[in-house]
């Protein structure tokens, strides 16, 4: 499993498209639900998942506990890794860096920002490689 992380419009999508040209995309921006990824991998050897901040945002209201929500997302990451091991496929996670600005005024946004940061940490910890995308350029993050 690999992680590509970068800020808004940093060029993540273009870089991932170029490197994984045969991948199936499971994107929150295309209306896909996170839970629905198993149906997307039926035909795929490589699965790209993007829009994690949207999947998180959609769950904020239903799950008031940060710890439990973080756990739910981690379980999903574990399931993706298990699919890789079982099928010999490849998972690519595209995540948004949003933690480097001013602390948001709204409690909901602060919560989303916190959970998004933890999600990125939990994802990187489960990946073999992590990449930082900055203005269309790519750098491998060291472990």
Partner 1 sequence: MIAFVSGGARSGKSTHAEALARRWQTERGGARYYLATARGGDDAEMQARIERHRRSRGEGWITLEEPFDLLAALDRVAPGSTLLLDCLTLWASQLLYASPLDEAQGIAIVERTLAEARRRNVGLVIVSNDVNEGMPPDDDETWRYLAFLQQVHCLVARQADEVVQVVAGLPQSWKSQGSRQP
Residue from 41, 93, 96, 130 touching partner 1 (CB under 8 A): that is: 96
Contacts of 78 (CB under 8 A, 6+ apart): 126
Q: Which stretch binds partner 1 (CB under 8 A): 7-15, 20-28, 71-79, 120-128?
A: 7-15
Angstrom distance (rounded) from CA 46 to CA 36: 15
- Nearest-5° angle of CA 106, CA 133, CA 79? 75
Angstrom distance (rounded) from CA 101 to CA 91: 29
Closer to partner 1 by Cβ: residue 93 or 96: 96
Per rule CB under 8 A, is residue 41 in the interface with partner 1?
no
Angstrom distance (rounded) from CA 8 to CA 133: 10
Per rule CB under 8 A, is residue 97 in the interface with partner 1?
yes
Q: In what order do the strands lie in the sheet with 46-50?
A: 24-27, 46-50, 90-96, 2-6, 129-134, 137-141
Closer to partner 1 by Cβ: residue 50 or 97: 97
Per rule CB under 8 A, is residue 86 in the interface with partner 1?
no
Per rule CB under 8 A, is residue 140 in the interface with partner 1?
yes
Least distance to partner 1 from the beta carbon of 104, Å?
Answer: 5
Report residue 41 as tokens: 């991998």
What mask, x for binding partner 1 by CB under 8 A, covers residues 13 to 32? --------------------
Least distance to partner 1 from the beta carbon of 73, Å?
Answer: 19
Residues forming the site for partner 1 (CB under 8 A): 6-11, 53, 96-102, 104, 109, 112-113, 131, 134-140
């Amino acid at each position: 499993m690999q992680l590509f992380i970068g800020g808004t419009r940093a060029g993540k999508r273009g870089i991932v498209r170029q490197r994984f040209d045969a991948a199936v995309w499971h994107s929150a921006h295309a209306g896909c639900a996170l839970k629905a990824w198993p149906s997307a991998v039926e035909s795929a050897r490589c699965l790209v998942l993007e829009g994690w901040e949207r999947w998180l945002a959609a769950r904020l209201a239903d799950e008031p506990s940060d710890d439990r929500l973080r756990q739910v997302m981690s379980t999903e990451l574990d399931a993706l890794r298990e699919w890789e091991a079982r099928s010999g496929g490849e998972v690519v996670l595209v995540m948004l860096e949003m933690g480097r600005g001013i602390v948001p005024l709204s409690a909901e946004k602060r919560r989303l920002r916190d959970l998004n940061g933890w999600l990125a940490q939990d994802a990187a910890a489960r990946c073999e490689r992590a990449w930082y995308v900055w203005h269309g350029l790519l750098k491998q993050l060291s472990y």
